[in-house]
Structure 1
Amino acid sequence: MKRKMIRAAAAFAAAASGMVFMMPNASAAPDVSRGEQIYQSCQDCHSLDTNDVGPMHRGVFGRKAASVPDYSYSTALKNSGITWDQDSLDRWLTDPQKLVPGSKMFFHLDSAQDRADVIEYLKERAK
């Protein structure tokens, strides 16, 4: 009887662990190359190295929001106290107006995977 219970528990554990990997909503690891492709849609307003409609993104990780020289930020973003990291960028790209009401940016990425990929691109390639 004890052996049957051990085998049943082992079978359940194996099946359960397989189900975790097969869940349709499980997100893949961030992909820098895919992030670079998605970032192309950001280039209507941003670039890595120059200010445009939006501020440049080179060195964004660890940078205090609204601190790029020669860019005219909204008062709301200047007063936000945000330092850009994985979490703050994800919240920003989800809904910039919710994170900082009155900021200039309205563009957002609905997909968590798209946000993760863009953030990974910025983290790795925009140093």
Structure 2
Amino acid sequence: MNLNEAIEKMQALCRSGDAQAFYREMFADDAAVSGEGAPGITTGSELLPALTEMLKTTPHLSIRAVRTTDLGDGAAITWLEWTSPTADGTPGETIAFRSLTVWRKRGASWVIAADMYGSGAFAAS
């Protein structure tokens, strides 16, 4: 599986609403996540409650890779943009955030080793 396929798989898992499958299939056991508004760094299975809430809030999530850098030895980073209509479907209202995501190979698949996120979309270039 290449990294673009991993991002497509991640989007499909998010849209399924199954936080457990999303966590199990897309995150390394020692993954670390933090970002804007977070009280600290969340790791391992402590991610599950946050992922569950995220999927409730963004049921029609779209994920776009803005830039990818191969670091070699089964590691890469991506700048990702995440967008979704609001959960209540308010017309014209969207949720947008961006992340710097660190990936590593686990067998033939890519998994998230670390993620740092912030609110808003990237400015058009």
User: TM-score per shorter chain, which class?
Assistant: under 0.3
Which has the larger share of helix? 1
Higher normalized strand content (fraction of residues) = 2
TM-score by length of 2: 0.27
Q: Larger C-alpha radius of gyration, 1 or 2?
A: 1
The alignment's TM-score, normalised by the length of structure 1, stands at 0.27
